[in-house]
Structure 1
């Protein structure tokens, strides 16, 4: 194995591993697999006009497989990953629009959220200003600021 083949194989394997951490829609893995196919075929003596189309087909198949199954694989590799960005609600102030059975309905940045009231906070009335103190099971927990 010559030095260029070794460099290309190491780079191709690095691209496949990198695709796990940098979502590229399978493009990084596809290029890596295509390079591995091309170098493998070259090592066994396959002619260039045959190697390149086979490498291209390998790349397309890899991209298709990653597009189809990549999200499931990513979810199983990183199960605790938060995708909702819901923690950004902590500290936001809002106004109670109405009361419902599940708790106060609060307007936070233009969106209506069914919230819970903090245990040591008085029950809010419609129109009261509240602040989000915590998130419990993806439900905002609010404290009354004023009862206006």
Structure 2
């Protein structure tokens, strides 16, 4: 499908300071990892695959065709880097996955009969609540 080694070499990482609470150490450590991937300049995919990815990921790409992902779940920069790489590879793999075609099934006659019977029972119950017509 695609060459994972070439793909990983094309990734660019940047470590920045993570937001949120963290105490005294938070202002000194850059644990948040930002991954950038230039889809248009990628050599890991064929032309057809690039068009498919641009179509599938159009909401996640910048105007220049760059995919940006970030992770700040862990306090460790290395753990965040692993997580963002895994998230990136899952995103690429899910973009190429073809959804299974849904096959419409026929509703069984017994199910239709049961539904109509229960509707009739509810209608009779409501009809019995009315005052009798004495005319």
What is the TM-score with the length of structure 1 in the denominator? 0.22
* Structure having the higher Rg: 2
Higher strand share: 1
What is the TM-score with the length of structure 2 in the denominator? 0.23
